[in-house]
Structure 1
Amino acid sequence: MSAVSRALVWDRQLLCRSGLASIIRREFQNVEVAIAEDADQALVWLAATGALGLLVLDGGIDLAAVAPGGIRGLRHRYPQLCLVIVDWRRDRGAMLRAIDEGAHGFIPKDMEQDEMLQAFRQVMAGQVYVPPLVSYVDVETLDKGSDRSRLASISSLTERQREVLTHMSMGKSNKEIARSLRISESTVKVHVAAAFRLLGVHNRVGAVAALQSRGDASASMRDQLVSRGQLGVDFRTRAFG
């Protein structure tokens, strides 16, 4: 990702727009920051900048007027755009979906300012940011000593995390997994890190062992991927996660 020199804060709430814009201006003094309260203003900015820059987007905004298809549609229309979602919701599923659809980060609006700045720094540096709470699980799943907790940990994985781990169990690298699932390599890393935390493991061997504790779970998932044509597909031109 090239250095970001422009940013747009598109938020429905005046205080949020102003606050986020102020934070970005103070921390990144070389970045020109604009604000938008509706789709018309956002479209003007996108046209004027060539969609080259950072868009900080309120997660509750309907993107239909800008790019049908939500986040994925926006990234298809503006593939060079760096996109960060800000939202009051602390919904783990929503966060993972946003990243999977192409967002470069998901930042809770009630996050401490220092943490928020660190999140923006990470995105500006070309990395994908997801908040630590993505890895939170029920206390029961943290009891690694019991089969029940191990099964609970595995059952809490998202479908995409299961797919990534199944490809991993076949010995594929992150780059090969990215090609097979048609997602970016950075997104694969996000899913791997989150899955490792959920399973209470620190490496691929531990993750594969956890999957095998479910018997033929890995084989079952592999059969599903084959039936859906997700194994052995060619990676074409997808520039986002």
Structure 2
Amino acid sequence: MRVVLIDDHELIWNGTRRLLEEVHRELRTEGEVLHFTALRDVAQACALPQRDVDLVLLDYHLPGLSGLPALLHMRQEFEGASVCMLSAESGREHIRAVLEAGASGFIPKSYGEADMAAALRLVLRQRVYVPAEFLFFEDVVRGQEADEVRNEDLAQFLGSELSGRQRQVLALALQGLPNKSIARRLDIAEGTVKVHLSMVYRALGVKNRVAALCRVMQAGVVLG
């Protein structure tokens, strides 16, 4: 398991390493080793000779390339990795923008150790972490169509009404993978990915990945 932390506050490095090591000990399979690298900016990360990375933890505010452009750049440079954003700002529009830009999760830097460990536990398992308060807000403002599947019935619906390929595409999309990477991983055309996602979103009663992510997480459904 290779994890790269990009944060210009070096005081964050040791604490994050310690939490990652604790969580990794809980989750690791036999013989798996955690390789942790901490860097100050995106330029240092792009200079790494080792690009076989599983998880990138990216601070929102960095010297040089920062914010959403930094997120997009890291997704391109480390295409096979989950890129999870850390940020001191946790307003709902800020979180939504980060998720819509393709982050594989959003962790507020204001979290205490217990909440941070819980978030890291999820992202190390290649799941998406989204603050509960954001999910609650999305549930309130989204509304509900008359024929929309109820949250308590969603797991059964996803298992019975979606094809196996549609479930695969949705699971990878909700990990933050772009359509091109999903197509490559499943050995299908990128246009086919778009068709599958369009059909899935329509079935879920949503319009995009962020809304689909909120629906699935509100229902407590695990895809993969």
How many angstroms apart in 2 are the aligned matches of 1:8 and 1:182? 35
What 5-or-longer segments of structure 1 have no aligned partner?
142-152, 203-241
Q: Within 5 Å, give how 1:1-241 maps onto structure 2.
A: 5-29=1-25, 30-45=33-48, 48-61=49-62, 64=65, 69-137=69-137, 153=140, 156-157=141-142, 175=166, 179-180=196-197, 189-193=212-216
**SS of residue paired to 1:95:** helix
* 8 Å CA contact 1:63, 1:71 repeated in 2: no
Partner of 1:210: none
Deviations 1:22-74 (A, max 9, x none): 211233253111110123321233xx322422111111136748x99442343
AA aligned to 1:52 is: V
Please say which structure displays the higher CA radius of gyration: 1
**SS of residue paired to 1:28:** helix
CA shift, 1:116, in A, is 1.3
Partner of 1:145: none
AA aligned to 1:23 is: L
Partner of 1:231: none
AA aligned to 2:85 is: I
Aligned length: 169
How many angstroms apart in 2 are the aligned matches of 1:87 and 1:14? 15
* 8 Å CA contact 2:68, 2:98 repeated in 1: no
What 5-or-longer segments of structure 2 have no aligned partner?
26-32, 150-156, 171-195, 202-207, 220-224
* 8 Å CA contact 1:128, 1:187 repeated in 2: no
**Aligned-residue CA RMSD (Å):** 4.2
% same residue: 16
